[in-house]
Every structure is written in C-alpha cells, then in structure tokens.
Amino acid sequence: MNFIPVKTPEFVKSLFPSFVWNINTSQKEVYLTFDDGPTPKVTDWVIHQLHLYNAKATFFCIGNNIDLYPEIFQRVVSSGHSIGNHTYNHLKGWKTSSQEYTNNTKKTEALLKRQLESSESFNNNLSVQFKLFRPPYGKIKPSQSKAILKLGYNIILWDILSFDWDQSISPEKCATNIISNTNSGSIIVFHDSVKAFKNLEYALPKVLEYYSKKGFEFKAITKQSLE
C-alpha cells in the first residue's frame, strides 16, 4: 500500500520551509513538471502535447540521460521549457553520502551549463534555470539540502503527485489524482519515462484540456515565478 499522499499536506510543507512546494500566485496558472528524462519518444511526445495547448513546463533531467540523448534535451530547451537538475544518476539521497550526492549534482550542473550555452535558444533567462533542483524520490538528507541550497539552487518539491509511475493505478485514476486536487499555483509531478508512459499518455492530455477550458495557463518554473 502506498502511504504517500497525492496532495502534500500543509503541515508537511511547514516542516520544510526552505523547499518550494507550490507557487504563490493569485492567477489561474499551474506548473507541470516532468522528471527523469530526456527519454526517446516519450519526451518528444510530451513536448508535442504541451505545444498543442501553448503550455510551458519544467523538466527535471537526469544528467546521464542528457549525455545519452543530447538532441532530445536540446528540443526541450528550444521549445521554451525550464530545465532542472535531477542529479546525474538519479541518486536516492537517504542511501547516498552527502559528498557523493553533492558531487553528482555538480556533475549535472556542469553538463546543463554546457548544453544550455551551446543551445541556439540560450538567453539570460535560460542561464539561470539550471539552478532548479528536485531530489529523486523526494528523498534528501538535511546535510544534502543544505549543500544544494548553498550552491544557489531552489529545491523544488511538489503540491500534487500524479503517481503516473505506479503500475497498480489506472490511467483514469492518474488523471483524477490531478484534477481532484490541483489549485492555482500547484506544482504537479509527471515523469517523461517509459515506466510512466501508460498513465502519462492518458492523463496529460486530459489535464491539459480540463484546465485550458477553465482558463488556466500552464507555466514553467522560472526565477521570476519564485520571486
């Protein structure tokens, strides 16, 4: 049984005030995020679906996947989405030393900087976006979060988990997880991964259509949105 809530309780957010759980806004806007890419076929499909609704999102990329699929990563960048650091090897913080965790994050930071600076879409806005960080599995030790914050990152957690990776739930349930719990400023977690695609393929178009009809915008997390 999964004891992780779809919507992060307010008391949990209050325990970790240095993390970003949602965006403070009075506007009708939500923040879609995609973890674990870039992934062949899946990430390109996500980019296309977002384009259909003029939606922007934030992609928390695994460094090793960027090295494997740099052309897909460049398509994410050229489509105007924000980029975040998700470590190089998708490390589980609770089972990793703080030194290894920090070095792994720095390795991805250097890679992201090289990739962004080589992109034709590189500009002053993109140059700061790689300072977004999401810990894989949401598991990070206090010593690790302190080190990551010291590197100048904003640590982005979430308001809503879609559970798209969970093979025990239906695609319909995945969509309902989001539609039943999202508010203005919600940060929503999807995964552009092979494992999640069965649920993602159904849920993402439903979410994009539902909130677009309600007049919401889908925005990327940027320095400006965090100010």
Q: DSSP secondary structure string, 154-208?
A: EEB--SEE--TT-TTS-HHHHHHHHHTT--TTBEEEEE-STTTHHHHHHHHHHHH
Whole-number pLDDT of residue 75? 95
The tokens for 52 are 């259909």
Backbone angles phi, psi at 217, to 5 degrees: -105, 150
Residue 217 pairs in a beta bridge with 29
132 and 84 Cβ atoms separated by less than 8 Å: yes
131 and 4 Cβ atoms separated by less than 8 Å: no
Q: What is the 3-state secondary structure (H, E, C) of 125-155?
A: CHHHHCCEECCHHHCCCHHHHHHHHHCCCEE
> What's the whole-number mean pLDDT along residues 66-90?
96
Other Cβ atoms closer than 10 A to 141? 16
Whole-number pLDDT of residue 15? 96
Other Cβ atoms closer than 10 A to 38? 26
Whole-number pLDDT of residue 227? 83
Task: Provide the pairing of β-strand 217-218 with 160-161.
Answer: unpaired
pLDDT tens sequence across 132-141: 999 999 999 9
The tokens for 180 are 């039943």
Q: Which amino acid is residue 121, in one-letter code?
A: S
Identify the three-state secondary structure at position 3: coil
pLDDT tens sequence across 42-74: 999 999 999 999 999 999 999 999 999 999 999
Lowest mean pLDDT among 67-81, 109-123, 168-182: 109-123
Whole-number pLDDT of residue 122? 58
User: CA 197 from chain center: how many Å?
Assistant: 15
218 and 186 Cβ atoms separated by less than 8 Å: no
Whole-number pLDDT of residue 127? 44
The tokens for 100 are 């290894």
> What's the whole-number mean pLDDT along residues 159-177?
97
Q: Which amino acid is residue 39, in one-letter code?
A: T
